[in-house]
Amino acid sequence: MAPAPVVGIGWRHAHYEALLERKPKLGFIEVHSENFFADGGITLAVLEAGREAYELSLHGVGLALGSAAGLDAGHLDKLARLVGRMQPRWVSDHACFARVGSGLHAADLLPIPFNEESLALLCRHVEQVQQRLGRTMLVENISAYAGWATDTLAEPEFFNELTRRSGCGLLLDVNNLVVNARNAGHAPDAAAREAMRWVDAIRPGSVGEMHVAGHCEQDDGLVIDDHGSRVRDEVWQVYTHAIARFGPVPTLVEWDTAVPGLDVLLAEADRARALLR
């Protein structure tokens, strides 16, 4: 019998108690690493309880891997301590910048240029993190609301080279592909086709995890990656296409704003699991 598809949900504060009480059937849970950097306390005890019940994914938002100012050594030390304590199945962060030379952190995932200079910088930082953690990490493609005139590489080519040179895996966020295509002026169906072309350009074997999530459209037409609603049909279309290309990659349902009851997330996870089968 084939193993059950690995599908997880983002474990947020609103569901700490319910998840531990009910222990629904899930392949893994994912938390934001930075929320658990403190030494000791009830928060870390809750994470340890979750780790006893499920495989764990630590998903970071603060490494700022693409920042020319370099990595924050203190941040990396805290991450290394957490990884050593929790022994998660996956560790991930984003292909973005956030830090500047003064040490200021933008507290956002800002887009990096897709060129050789940026690629070399990102590879260097990913390798530094992997050496510090003693494991391979996953790097996520982001939703971006601006670009760079200095781009010389197509985004999929950039990620192919990143995974090839650094040995990291790609955390493929399918929702981000659709959001970026929508903001490039495509209607939902056309955005799905554009995102599928992006998927087709990624080399098989490099994707270690996938994310699906909801997004919203503002009155001015801007599409926001807010993780605040059910996964849209066009995202499921691209996800199905990605499964056909990459196989049954472990998948996470993200929901970070306007967090609903746990059963809503579990229903979204069920849909992903059915598609993976």
CA distance 117 to 120: 5
- The upper half-sphere exposure of residue 274, i.e. CA atoms within 13 Å in the direction of its Cβ, equals 7
As a residue count, the chain comes to 277
Question: What six digits make up the tokens of 71?
Answer: 């990595």
Q: Are 50 and 29 in contact (CB under 8 A)?
A: yes
For β-strands 223-224 and 216-217, DSSP reports them as: antiparallel
Tens-place pLDDT, residues 43-72: 999 999 999 999 999 999 999 999 999 999
Q: List the domains of the chain with CATH numbers.
A: 7-18+25-276 (3.20.20.150)
pLDDT of residue 40: 80
Counting as low any pLDDT under 50, the low residues of the chain are: 1-2
pLDDT of residue 24: 97
Q: Are 175 and 212 in contact (CB under 8 A)?
A: yes
Amino acid at 263: D
pLDDT of residue 206: 98
Of 191, 264, 266, whose CA–CA distance to 221 is shortest?
191
